[in-house]
């Protein structure tokens, strides 16, 4: 495993070793001991989630706040997504900044998103299957979010606005300015 620090504090790209031959490949996708040694973070994941979405589906930007804030380890096993993390930790040197990475079934990259970050992704391929581990259980009353096209964050989602498909819930998320007034 190799770990790349992103421009966001405590947010990492993880490259796992792919062992392959003519039969296929094997990847150890998570090892708590190695993760802790490489990052210094002692994370205990409690739940695995999976979603499958078609091209243009954008899920996010979401986070759990307070004691429900979740760290996530995300990856793609089918297709390709642009994955985005936004640092919403008030005292962080990277507060209000975002980072994006393309995760694909072929590049086998994983993305560690710490607690206190908003997270979202958009499907770039015909379909994508997205997997993520979280270290806290979901609490419906503690979810907050920021609208994907917030002018202050200015995230390039790579697709044209008319190609983006949102849930009704994600269409009604507030702005980054709204979030700032709530903290």
- Give the CATH number of the domain where residue 132 resides: 2.60.120.10
Number of domains in the chain: 1
Containing domain of residue 104, as a range?
2-182
What's this model's pTM, rounded to 2 decimal places?
A: 0.95
Across the chain, what does the average pLDDT equal?
95
Phi, psi of 172 (to 5 degrees): -100, 10
For 82-114, the pLDDT digits (tens) are 999 999 999 999 999 999 999 999 999 999 999
Catalytically active residues are 62, 132
Contact between residue 46 and residue 136 where contact means Cβ atoms under 8 Å apart:
yes
Helices (H), the chain: 32-39, 168-171, 176-182
């Amino acid at each position: 495993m190799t770990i790349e620090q992103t421009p966001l504090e405590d947010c990492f790209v993880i490259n796992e070793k792919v062992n392959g031959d003519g039969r296929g490949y094997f990847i150890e996708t998570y090892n708590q001991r190695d993760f802790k040694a490489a990052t210094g973070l002692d994370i205990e994941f409690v739940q695995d989630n999976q979603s499958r979405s078609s091209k243009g589906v954008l899920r996010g930007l979401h986070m759990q706040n307070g004691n429900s804030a979740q760290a996530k380890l995300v990856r793609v096993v089918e297709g390709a997504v642009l994955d985005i993390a936004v640092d919403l930790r008030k005292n962080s040197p990277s507060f209000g900044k975002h980072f994006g990475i393309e995760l694909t079934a072929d590049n086998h990259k994983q993305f560690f998103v710490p607690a206190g970050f908003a997270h979202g992704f958009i499907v770039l391929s015909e379909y994508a299957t997205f997997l993520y581990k979280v270290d806290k259980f979901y609490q419906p009353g503690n979810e907050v979010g920021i609208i994907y096209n917030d002018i202050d964050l200015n995230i390039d989602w790579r697709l044209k606005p008319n190609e983006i498909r949102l849930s009704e819930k994600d269409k009604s998320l507030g702005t980054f300015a709204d979030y700032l007034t709530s903290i």
